[in-house]
């Protein structure tokens, strides 16, 4: 059965409730109300300014993945994963700061962590490429001057779709966009990646294929988050007619942008 787009799942509901509702944020604050005479250390202040999820973005299918929440002690935490059925593959420890995941099913998994501290709530998003190998290379020139519209009416066919977005800046709304995109791209059997600008491979180096696409984005003067759409070759090793644009704010708009380029 092919996966269907999910725009409202547990992870997004969780994050939206925490980050967008003053009532829920207030309730969450009761859980993490600091005790009297609590001294806030500088390290804690730093973490309050930048909570994040530490962990790999790309692994081989079946690898054990450890995700760690870099958040202040005493924070209220709740994890969720999409697709929702993958929850059976995820274990969260008793203090909820560590989530462990492993699956032999290849694909894109999106982890959401709602964090509540002193009445302030935020949603952290981590995207994991599980068992996905190197991406294609732009063809014929890996660093061309991009044409803003190389083909206004492309023939429908297989596409390579790359979303470049900062991991630490992914919001609940952006997570909903990525999940809706994932469902559509899997249904149409397009090749795709969701990557951080600072992505590194297993050798701790920026993948050559990604650097080529990121160079196209920079020449097009498109800021991150960005959406790159390329016509995928028959062997899946290269693309032509690469389009670059800002990532639309909704999944529906992003899907329409891909459809307009033959996807």
Residues 187 and 211 in one domain: yes
Provide the percentage of residues in the chain whose pLDDT is more than 70.
76
Q: How many domains does the chain have?
A: 2
What is residue 108's predicted lDDT score, i.e. its pLDDT? Answer: 87
Highest mean pLDDT among 21-25, 134-138, 207-211: 207-211
Asked if the structure places residue 3 within a domain, the reply is: no
Q: What is the mean pLDDT of residues 50-63?
A: 85
Q: Please give the pLDDT value at position 132.
A: 72
Query: Given 81, 108, 130, which residue is the final one in a domain?
Result: 130
Across the chain, mean pLDDT equals: 78
Q: Is residue 89 part of a domain?
A: yes
Most confident of the ranges 21-25, 116-120, 208-212, 248-252: 248-252
Q: Where are the beta strands (DSSP E) in the chain?
A: 52-54, 58-59, 65-70, 76-82, 90-92, 98-101, 107-117, 120-130, 137-138, 159-164, 191-195, 226-232, 238-246
pLDDT value of residue 147 = 55
Question: Which of 111, 130, 149 is the last residue in one of the domains?
Answer: 130
Q: What is the mean pLDDT of the segment spanning 9-21?
A: 43
In this structure, are 59 and 118 located in the same domain? yes
Same-domain check for residues 106 and 143: no
Residue 56 maps to a domain: yes
pLDDT for res 30: 31
**First-to-last CA distance in the chain?**
21
pLDDT tens for 154-211 read 899 999 999 999 877 777 788 889 889 988 998 999 999 998 888 877 677 888 889 8
Return the CATH number at 48: 2.60.40.10
pLDDT confidence tier of residue 78, bands split at 50, 70 and 90: very high
Show the domain range for 109: 10-130
Residues 123 and 96 in one domain: yes
Give the residue-averaged pLDDT of 103-111: 90
224 lies in some domain = yes
> Domain check: are 164 and 110 in the same one?
no
Residues 143 and 36 grouped into a single domain = no
Q: Is residue 24 part of a domain?
A: yes
Residue 124 pLDDT level (bands cut at 50, 70, 90)? confident
Inter-residue contact 125 to 112 (CB < 8 Å): yes
150 and 252 housed in the same domain: yes
pLDDT for the residue 10: 44
**Cα–Cα separations (whole angstroms), residue 258 to 148, 151, 223, 254, 261:** 15, 13, 18, 6, 5
Domain end point (choices 95, 113, 130)? 130
Predicted local confidence at residue 135, as pLDDT: 82
């Amino acid at each position: 059965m092919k996966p269907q787009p999910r725009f409202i799942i547990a992870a997004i509901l969780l994050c939206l409730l925490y980050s967008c509702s003053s009532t829920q944020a207030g309730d969450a604050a009761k859980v993490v109300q600091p005790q009297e005479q609590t001294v806030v250390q500088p390290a804690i202040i730093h973490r309050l300014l930048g909570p994040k999820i530490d962990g790999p973005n790309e692994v081989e299918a079946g690898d054990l993945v450890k995700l760690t929440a870099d958040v202040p002690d005493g924070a209220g935490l709740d994890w969720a994963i999409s697709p929702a059925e993958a929850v059976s593959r995820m274990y969260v420890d008793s203090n909820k700061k560590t989530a462990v995941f492993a699956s032999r099913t290849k694909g894109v998994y999106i982890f959401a962590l709602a964090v509540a501290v002193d009445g302030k709530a935020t949603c952290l998003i981590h995207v994991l490429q599980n068992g996905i190998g190197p991406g294609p290379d732009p063809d014929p020139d890996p660093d061309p001057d991009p044409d803003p519209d190389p083909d206004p009416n492309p023939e429908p066919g297989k596409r390579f779709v790359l979303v470049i977005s900062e991991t630490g800046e992914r919001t609940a709304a952006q997570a909903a966009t990525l999940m809706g995109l994932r469902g559509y791209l899997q249904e149409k059997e397009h090749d795709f990646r969701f990557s951080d600008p600072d992505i590194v491979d297993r050798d701790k180096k920026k993948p050559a294929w990604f650097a080529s696409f990121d160079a196209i984005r920079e020449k097009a003067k498109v800021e991150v988050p960005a959406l790159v759409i390329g016509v995928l070759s028959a062997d899946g090793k290269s693309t032509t007619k690469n389009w670059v644009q800002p990532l639309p704010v909704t999944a529906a708009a992003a899907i329409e942008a891909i459809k307009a380029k033959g996807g």
